[in-house]
Amino acid sequence: MEAGLPDRLKRTGDAPEVGIVHLGPGAFFRAFNAIYTDEVRGDAPWEICAVSLKSPTARDQLMPQGGAYTAVELGPEGEVRRVIGSIARVLVAPEDPAAVVDAMADPAVKIVSLTITEKGYCHNPSTGALDPAHPDIVHDLENLGAPRSAVGFICAALDRRRTQGEAPFTVLSCDNLPSNGVLAKGVVLDFARRVSPELADWIAAEVPFPATMVDRITPATTEADVSRLAEAEGYEDPAMVVHEPFRQWVIEDRFAAGRPDWDKAGAQFVESVEAHELMKLRCLNGTHSTLAYLGYLAGHETISDAVADPVFAAMCERLWAEEILPTVPQPEGEDLPAYAAALLERYRNPAIRHRTWQIAMDGSQKLPQRLLGTIRDNLQDGRVPTGLCLAVAGWMRYVGGVDEKGATIDVRDPLADRLKAASDGAVTPEEKVAALLAVRDVFDEGLAGNAAFRDAVTAAYVSLAGKGARASVADYLDGK
């Protein structure tokens, strides 16, 4: 058994020219962006320099293999394995932030892309604005030569390009956030204004921030996945990733200095991704979060386990038909009911062990985009979306840190301590709901103060506390 990729599969030869610097080389990037780029890079200078903003793990796994790794497609009929070679080098930002700024400031780099999750933007999720009190932002404004945040690195590199008379790069956000290009531009410009008005004006005039919609279910890689690959191929690959067969990448076609021909690998270049991203965010991410919180509370380890339970599958179908699709504008070329039906089939794929606990992470950052916007639109149209309110109540029970059997929940969230304190500081379900609705980083004042929303979430929380998640979902389906 070989440790790491065999020599015949590793990258070799001279260091290629890097055209993309990517911040956040986690599993999703390796199962998505890097694969698209690998399929179309050819002889063009679109090699990737990946940058980890926190941990050296990706570097330590990838660089002994020359940046190459195995991507395993998990389909209902079996696995498809392939080696991906689009990553040329990996940097660890905390070890040498200056090297990261140097890499991004290199005129050969045309694109800086990001998969840094919601919390990586150092913003207030309820408003989308930069959080100037965020510790990394405070640090970076005082130490722009050695930044910590993605926003700080982008501004430091763009400032060097500006002062040296070089052309800018495109900032390409690939995170599951509505209007992710607008969000990225907003936090970067806010930060830049605090550094230099001239820098902010230059970025506003010269730097494109195209929005994207990305979609591929990518479960966390397990030891069992690594062992299964080793048994099948005869080598151990600690950098491997697993993913579903489906993928979709919709990109606004606005780039400062060219781009890879990702469309040859199936990416869709459009004028605006707004309708596509809203479709995905509400239909997929919204039901994913619903299944994560309520499914976890009901004892389901994975999404496929949850939808194998008829009440949870039926809940998804009802949510799409009655509460989600009525709020989604028609995207060009999409059949919304067919899209929703295909989602349920993807969820049912038994080869994808996408853990409810994993999806439940960082809920305080995800709820405003995945659920609360849909709820707000329903309320504005005169409908009380009781199913989505049940999902919010499920999140509230989850962040309380104790499951239905009295076991401790390992809540992973930037606001975990604050949310638990709010829940623990209240006694009755009504008080717990009120305390959590008062968390302005999640719920804006208008929604939190909406009587219909507050009443529906409170009733759902009371049901969850008294009957449990599965029975509460069954009551929702019965109209109780």
Domain CATH code at residue 67? 3.40.50.720
Residues 288, 412: one domain? yes
Same domain, 265 and 324: no
Judgement on whether residues 210 and 359 belong to the same structural domain of the protein: no
Q: What are phi and psi of 226, to 5 degrees?
A: -65, -40
The bridge status of strand 212-215 relative to strand 69-75 is unpaired
d(CA 278, CA 292): 20
Together in a domain, 155 and 225: yes
pLDDT of residue 54: 95
The residue from 220, 241, 270 where one domain ends is 270
Q: How far apart are CA 237 and CA 70, in angstroms?
A: 7
Domain containing residue 342: 274-478
Last residue in a domain, options 270, 287, 311: 270
Residue 455 amino acid letter: D
Amino acid identity of residue 309, one-letter, is D
* Helical segments of 303-352, H only: 303-308, 310-318, 336-347
For residues 98 and 166, membership in a common domain is answered with yes
Are 59 and 84 found together in one domain? yes
Retrieve residue 477's tokens. Answer: 């389906």
Q: What is the pLDDT of residues 245-301, one digit of tens each?
A: 999 999 999 999 999 999 999 999 999 999 998 999 999 999 999 999 999 999 999
**Same domain (yes/no): 253, 288:** no
| Secondary structure letter of residue 22 according to DSSP | E
Q: Give the CATH number of the domain where residue 292 resides.
A: 1.10.1040.10
Q: In this structure, are 210 and 290 located in the same domain?
A: no
User: 378 and 328 in contact (C-beta within 8 Å)?
Assistant: no
Q: Look at the chain and count its residues.
A: 480
294 with 441, same domain: the answer is yes
* Per-residue confidence (pLDDT) for residue 176, from 0 to 100: 83
CB 303 within 8 A of CB 295: yes
Query: 270, 297, 318: which is the final residue of a domain?
Result: 270
The answer to whether the CB of 268 falls within 8 A of the CB of 249 is yes
Q: Is 113 helix (H, G, I), strand (E, B) or coil?
A: strand
The Cα 439–Cα 380 span in angstroms is: 22
* Residue 147 sits in the same domain as residue 57: yes
Look at the chain and report how many structural domains it folds into. 2
Tokens 């991004």 — which residue? Answer: 104
Cα separation, 23 vs 149, in Å, equals 10
Say if residues 55 and 116 touch (Cβ distance below 8 Å).
no
Same domain for 198 and 334? no
Residue numbers in the chain where pLDDT is lower than 50: none
Measured between alpha carbons, how far is 372 from 406 in angstroms, rounded to an integer?
A: 28
> Which residues are paired to 269 by β-bridges?
251
- pLDDT, tens digit (0-9, with 9 covering 90-100), for 200-216: 999 999 999 999 999 99
Query: What type of residue is 321?
Result: A
> Do 264 and 381 have their domain in common?
no
State how far the Cα of 473 lies from the Cα of 313, in Å rounded to an integer. 10
In this structure, are residues 326 and 317 in contact, taking their beta carbons and an 8 Å threshold? no
